Chains A and B, each alone.
Chain A
Amino acid sequence: MTATPPPSGRVPAGPVTGPAAIRTVGLTKRYGSVTAVDGIELDVPPGDIYGFLGPNGSGKTTTVRMLLGLVLPTAGTVEVLGARIPKHARSVLHRVGALVEAPAAYGHLGARANLSIMDAAGPGGSRRTRRARIDQALEQVGLAGVGRRPVKAYSLGMRQRLGIAAALLREPDLLILDEPTNGLDPRGIQEIRRLLLDLNASAGTTIFLSSHLLAEVEHLCKRVGVVDRGRLVLQDSLAALRAPTGSVVLRTPDPEWAVGVLDGDLRERSGDRLVVRATDPAELNARLVGHGIRITELTEQRRTLEEVVLAATTGSSDRVDAAVPPTVGPRAEVLATDDSAWDRPPAGPAVPLPTRPARDTFSWPAGRDTPEPGPGWQPSRSEPARSEPARSEPARSEPARSEPARSEPARPEPVRPAPDDRRPGQSQPGLGSEPSRSGSAQPPDGRSQPGPGWQPSPSDSAQPPDDAEVDPGGSAADRAGSDQPEARSEESA
């Protein structure tokens, strides 16, 4: 982490043997008094698939732009494939394929002309192999038969595919992709995911994936970094983040009996669904079956990436007594503290508001909606806030922000909602991040209503390993709408 930067300039080719694919040290960007990115320390080893997560306006895109030399850092350094950016951008960026925010192309030209122009516009794209490379890239993204139709006639999904093709054109060692599956339907998402995994496995391509789609990241990435309000609050391997919580989720047609048998181990119950404290699911199963209790479903509970991210981005604290519900007083106080309030736990006075003096001087990056700590945010937020270990809280108050956060989330502490009829593992899409995106559009109880941005793990995310294969696309399919059939028919035309 703290190794001295390798000599900048040209580096030996080959991502796996080279230096870190991406390394930033104290990366900071200020726009006037607004700190968009605050001391981010990214560390992406070669060959990794890295998921870069965070709410909108948290500094993700600014960070990506600094990686590509588009935005110049106020402080700190960026190294991509061992070369300093932006100083040595020319020697290294041609080995990086990028998709930033949205694809862009010259509307009056066709796909091949666009790719040809982009390829000719910089170093590293041999003219001799250009035609073959363009054909290959279009083939890879499923646009091989697109012909000479101008890009302005393309559907959203086709443009997205073209953008990915442009990123793949020079067989890059590093792919920096911002929402690569935006606008694609489930099949398209799966195609692209397979393509990325394939590139990573066969060519050792490092992939840096910035996304809102948690399911997407969950399926693809080996490591994740979570950024919240310009700070990297978490950076760890997905496996460590998703360690078992020490609970088992089960369903039984005989819940009453089961409750009696389980006695003190019962953590939560909603209908026929029970959450039980148990380290060994097999043992628990045997015990219940031994009592003649029928089991329809039994799964080891793991934190979903969503829970991890929501916990990391809300600044929740486990120092607040779980029995104390949010009272009116502190909530009113929270509401009164405008934008800096929303990541404070809306709990009782025990919440250490003054522990983050820096928050007061922090203002939202331009364009970010002022979060609305409305009713849709409060009630469900409060439960994880009370029972979650403090993840981002210590991280914020210390200079090396990402360090403490990194080690903590592996702690197998489950999300523990209050014992009402809420399901504990139920992901709450949009709650943590949604206020910044859609504000009051969120219904009062948003748990059953995934917001447009933070895609939940498909179906019941309490058992993510099970449903991992079931629905590859998640609700992105709904957003893509009827795009793909159109794209399909056009491709075959």
Chain B
Amino acid sequence: MIGVELMKMLRRPRTWVVIALIDALPTLVAFLLALTDVGPRPGTGPAFLSAVLNNGVLFPAAALAIVLPLFLPVSVAIVSGDSIAGEAQAGTLRYLLARPAGRTRLLVAKLVTVLVFVAMAVVVVVVTGYFVGTSLFGTGQLAGGNIVSVSGEPLSPHQAALRTLLAMAYVAFSMLGVAAMAVFLSTLTDSPLAAAMGALAFLVASSLLLTLDAADSIRPYLPTRYWLAFVDLFRQPILWRDIVRGVGLQSLYVAVLLGAAWANFSTKDIKS
């Protein structure tokens, strides 16, 4: 079942279009930076961008920071929102369940598919980020190959690679909250668009509340609160506090929302 769902996703042209679009934005940013040589001043703009001009090795992390706030969540919401509602809209859900695929199995297969999609998107962004970054900005020969961490200490290329991998994992994990929300909504409605938009509304609300002082007391529980904590992975030493909290918070959202999705879907009357 999981294999079937993965094949379905990989054979859909949409999957690849979305990934290409996600990838296009950081690439465009890299070219603009390289052409103009005008980086944002340190402390402004997306994370790492100011450092990238000196060392392209940091560009994968910068690319992640560029796609993280909007592009990645939108694509994850679209793919996850489509999971059940898309089948319902196409009418194939009733045939899958009468096959019988099994409701829990189908839901699990859909979740795994979403996970794979998120991983693919992140990997593609990082890999292109690395090639684009190193070819456009060099590898920082001045510092002997070392890159400068966010906290000013040098990082060896080995450390930088390891931390980029950790950052990929963290960013992918951060997307699971959105994915779980979209999958849950996808079991509620027969419209994939509604599910995706609902999940995005959830994110926009969270981002908005983060900027509101009056929402201070609930800020630690907002799903997007710790998203950018992956920057802490590039400190020397790594600042784990927010990352651990972020993982914990996302786990909570994922558990609750997927539980709700399962409870709803396994007892739902399929009328599509």
Q: Contact between A72 and B269 (Cβ–Cβ < 8 Å)?
A: yes
Q: How far is the CB of A136 from chain B (nearest CB, A)?
A: 18
Interface check B90, CB cutoff 8 A: yes
Q: Contact between B100 and A89 (Cβ–Cβ < 8 Å)?
A: yes
Interface check B271, CB cutoff 8 A: yes
Q: How far is the CB of A107 from chain B (nearest CB, A)?
A: 7
Also in contact, A100 and B94, with CB within 8 A (given A89-B100, A117-B4): yes
Q: Contact between B98 and A93 (Cβ–Cβ < 8 Å)?
A: yes
Q: Contact between B92 and A104 (Cβ–Cβ < 8 Å)?
A: yes
Q: Contact between A104 and B100 (Cβ–Cβ < 8 Å)?
A: no
Chain A residues, Cβ within 8 Å of B97: 68-70
Interface check A224, CB cutoff 8 A: no
Q: How far is the CB of B187 from chain A (nearest CB, A)?
A: 14
Chain B residues, Cβ within 8 Å of A312: none
Interface check A324, CB cutoff 8 A: no
With the chains together, A100 CA to B92 CA distance in Å? 10
Q: Which of B6-14, B114-122, B174-182, B243-251 contacts A (4 or more CB under 8 A)?
A: B6-14
Chain B residues, Cβ within 8 Å of A108: 11-13
With the chains together, A65 CA to B97 CA distance in Å? 11
Q: Using CB atoms, name the residue of chain A closest to B268.
A: A72
Also in contact, A121 and B98, with CB within 8 A (given A70-B270, A102-B91): no
Which of B1, B12, B267, B271 is close to A121, meaning CB atoms less than 8 Å apart?
B1
- Interface size, chain A (Cβ < 8 Å): 30
Q: How far is the CB of B143 from chain A (nearest CB, A)?
A: 49
Q: How far is the CB of A231 from chain B (nearest CB, A)?
A: 20
Which of A65, A109, A122 is close to B100, meaning CB atoms less than 8 Å apart?
A122
Q: Contact between B4 and A121 (Cβ–Cβ < 8 Å)?
A: yes
Q: Using CB atoms, name the residue of chain A closest to B98.
A: A68
Q: Contact between A106 and B270 (Cβ–Cβ < 8 Å)?
A: no
- Interface size, chain B (Cβ < 8 Å): 24
Q: Contact between B98 and A104 (Cβ–Cβ < 8 Å)?
A: no
With the chains together, A121 CA to B267 CA distance in Å? 20
Which of B1, B11, B94, B101 is close to A65, meaning CB atoms less than 8 Å apart?
B94
Also in contact, A117 and B269, with CB within 8 A (given A96-B98, A102-B91): no
B 82-99 to A, binary, CB cutoff 8 A, 1 in contact else 0: 000000001110111111
Which of A71, A94, A104, A105 is close to B99, meaning CB atoms less than 8 Å apart?
A94
Chain B residues, Cβ within 8 Å of A93: 98-100
Q: Using CB atoms, name the residue of chain B closest to A66.
A: B269
Interface check B220, CB cutoff 8 A: no
Q: Contact between B269 and A121 (Cβ–Cβ < 8 Å)?
A: no
The listed residue with most B CB atoms (<10 A of its CB), out of A89, A107, A117, is A117
Interface check A261, CB cutoff 8 A: no
With the chains together, A68 CA to B90 CA distance in Å? 18
Q: Using CB atoms, name the residue of chain B closest to A67.
A: B98
Q: Contact between A117 and B100 (Cβ–Cβ < 8 Å)?
A: no
Chain B residues, Cβ within 8 Å of A71: 269-271
Interface check A341, CB cutoff 8 A: no
Interface check A165, CB cutoff 8 A: no
Also in contact, A120 and B4, with CB within 8 A (given A71-B269, A71-B270): yes
Interface residues in A227-270 (C-beta closer than 8 Å to B): none
With the chains together, A406 CA to B48 CA distance in Å? 80
Q: A68-B98, A118-B99, A120-B3 are in contact. List 4 more A-B contacts (CB 8 A).
A: A104-B95, A105-B92, A122-B96, A122-B101
* Chain B residues in the interface with A (C-beta under 8 A): 1, 3-4, 7-8, 11-13, 90-92, 94-102, 267, 269-271
User: 29 A-B contacts, Cβ less than 8 Å apart?
Assistant: A65-B94, A65-B269, A68-B98, A71-B271, A72-B267, A89-B100, A90-B100, A90-B102, A93-B98, A96-B98, A98-B98, A100-B94, A100-B98, A101-B94, A104-B94, A104-B95, A105-B90, A108-B12, A109-B11, A117-B7, A117-B8, A118-B95, A121-B1, A121-B101, A122-B1, A122-B96, A122-B99, A122-B100, A123-B100
